[in-house]
Every structure is written in C-alpha cells, then in structure tokens.
Amino acid sequence: MSTERPPERIDLPELTLRRAVEDDAANLMKAVNDSFEHLQPWMPWATEKRTVQEELAWIASCRAEWESGLGYAYLLENPDGDVVGTAALHNRIGPGVLEIGYWVHAGHTRRGHATRAAGALTGAAFGMEGVERVEIHCDVANKRSAAVPPKLGYELLVIEDDVRTAPAEEGPRMRWGITRAAWERRA
C-alpha cells in the first residue's frame, strides 16, 4: 500500500530509525560533538561544535519539513539506545525523486549502520506514492560514503560538476540512483 509519508519509526534488528523529539537534543549534541573531527571534513554544517539550542532548532526544522513534505529526518539508534547518527529522505531534486543523506557517529562506523539506514529509507521511499527514483549523492573524494549505494543496488548515474562545500571535498559530485523497478527486482 502506498502512503503519503514514510513511517515515523523503522525497527531493524541492529538499528532503529525514528523521528527525533526535544528530549533527544542533548544526546544528539553529544553524538555530533564526539564525532566532530570525523564530520567536519565532509558535512557542510559541521563547522563548529553544537549547542543544545542548535539541536532543538534542528529538531524543530525537521518537524516543519516533515509536515510540509520537504524532508523526512530520522535519528539512528542502536539497540543500547545510543544515538549513532542521523539519516534523512530529502525532497529537493524534483517530482518523483527523493535523496538520502546520512552520517554515522565516529565510534560506530564500519558496522553497516549507514548501509542499513539507507536500505531502510530506500524501501520507505518506494512505499510512498509517486516516488520512482531514489538517489544518494556524495563528493568524489568521499570513498566511505560512495561505498554505501552500490551495496544496495544503486548505480552511478553521473559525476557532475559541483562546488566544494566541506574541507575534504574535491568538488565533483557522484549521483547514485535506483529506480522503483530495480528495487522491486532486488526484493
């Protein structure tokens, strides 16, 4: 059955994706700040350590985006209840296409969390009405991020010119994509 919005919460054996609430602000801030040196090279927003107020503002903006359909952001939580990152479906490419973004806590990488989250969000995206393609974008230098989409059956659509937005980026951006038909064939 198609829905207008993705699920509020997705429970996987090793990872839960759920919408953040105000009470998450302090734990989210700690996860971001503990990961600062790992995020700062790649995430344009990671220019300074964050405050609880900034996390509260982020949570409020996610709520507004969710309501308007501009984007659907999730906290990633491991079975111990630790915040191990965030991931989101962004509605900013054009009709019928959603883009997935993610980051994982520096102390919880290489355990498949980004791949798991992106796989769950790809399935959630194709559960929504009118979504025909899902994309994952990353800078050509971001090898760890680029390792995620092919594991899920995404294909490299194009490498397009772009500007550097974070210190470790080279500029050109890889656009990985998967169609509804290809995802359903995999399933």
Ligand X SMILES: CC(C)(COP(=O)(O)OP(=O)(O)OC[C@H]1O[C@@H](n2cnc3c(N)ncnc32)[C@H](O)[C@@H]1OP(=O)(O)O)[C@@H](O)C(=O)NCCC(=O)NCCS
Q: Least distance (Å) from ligand X to the CB of residue 87?
A: 9
112 binds ligand X (CB under 6 A): yes
CB 127 within 8 Å of CB 2? yes
Q: Which of 43, 56, 93, 97 binds ligand X (CB under 6 A)?
A: 43
The nearer residue to ligand X, 44 or 130, going by C-beta atoms, is 44
Quote the CA–CA distance of 95 and 132 in Å, as a whole number: 9
CB 113 within 8 Å of CB 76? yes
Q: Least distance (Å) from ligand X to the CB of residue 2?
A: 28
38 binds ligand X (CB under 6 A): yes
x-or-dash pattern for ligand X, window 68-107, by CB under 6 A? ----------------------------------xxx---
138 binds ligand X (CB under 6 A): yes
The nearer residue to ligand X, 158 or 181, going by C-beta atoms, is 158
Structure tokens at 48: 């300074």
The crossing angle, in degrees rounded to 10, of helices 25-34 and 52-68 is 110
CB 168 within 8 Å of CB 142? yes
CA nearest 9: which of 68, 75, 66? 75
Please give the radius of gyration of the chain, using alpha carbons only, rounded to the nearest integer: 16
* Binding range to ligand X, per CB under 6 A, among 13-21, 26-34, 142-150, 177-185: 142-150
Structure tokens at 173: 């951006």
**Residues in the site for ligand X, rule: CB under 6 A?**
38-39, 42-43, 102-104, 109-115, 138, 142-145, 147-148
